[in-house]
Amino acid sequence: MRGKSTADCKQKAGVIAPVIDLKRCEGKADCLDVCPENVFEIRRIDEVDYLSLDLMHRLKLRVHGMKVAYTPNADACRSCGLCVTACPERAITLARTA
- Where b means 16+ CB within 10 Å and e means fewer, 64-91 reads eeeebbbbeebebbbbbebbbebbebeb
Quote the least distance from Cβ 44 to ligand SF4, whole Å: 21
Q: Does 27 bind ligand SF4 (CB under 6 A)?
A: no
Q: Does 87 bind ligand SF4 (CB under 6 A)?
A: no
Q: What is the CA radius of gyration of the chain?
A: 14
- Out of 27, 30, 37, 61, point to the residue binding ligand SF4 (CB under 6 A): 37
**Interacting residues with ligand SF4 (CB under 6 A):** 6, 18, 34-37, 39, 77-83, 94
